[in-house]
Amino acid sequence: MAIIISVGLVAGTATVRAQEAPEAATADAASSEGREVYEAVCQACHMADAKGGGDAGAEIPALANNVHLADKDFMVNVVLNGRGGMPWLKDLLSHQQVASVATYVRREFNAYPEAVTEADVDRVASNGPASPAPPPCTSC
């Protein structure tokens, strides 16, 4: 009987791992795409460490440790529609790329684990630019 139980546990574990594997592969692909978009489009201004203009006097906000990015819709809106000196990217990036880069920045440079989905980007895009903008961040 002990052999049957252990075989059942091993088979059950294999089934769970098989079910988790596609999700992990999808998450890895999205993270890779998000990193690639960040490096190609965002990094030139926001820097490799996402700390923005910093002490150089530039008006480029840090994305790292940015409390505004807790609201995934805020980040999606800024990426799509721009804000201040940041250009809008809705004509440059697909909704999937926006979702990937937003998820990457929220996870890599902040502690916001919730993924931004293409459906989130579709919803924000259909609502148009957000208004009013949140108050300025004193630490950005």
Note the pLDDT tens digit of each residue in 23-42: 566 667 668 999 999 999 99
Judge whether residue 58 has pLDDT over 60: yes
Q: So what's the pLDDT on residue 107?
A: 97
DSSP-derived letter for residue 49 is T
- The CA distance from 132 to 126, in Å, is 17
Q: Is the peptide bond before 132 cis (omega within 30 degrees of 0)?
A: yes
pTM for this model (two decimals): 0.73
Q: What digits encode the pLDDT tens for the residues 79-138?
A: 999 998 899 999 999 999 999 999 999 999 999 999 999 999 999 999 876 655 555 555
pLDDT given for residue 59 in this prediction = 82
**Cβ neighbours around 66 below 10 Å, total:** 22
Residue 75 has pLDDT above 80, yes or no: yes
Cα distances (Å, whole numbers) of residue 99 to 4, 37, 69, 77, 91: 45, 10, 13, 11, 14
Top-tier CATH class for 2-127: mainly alpha
Cα–Cα distance for residue pair 59/11, rounded to 1 Å:
56
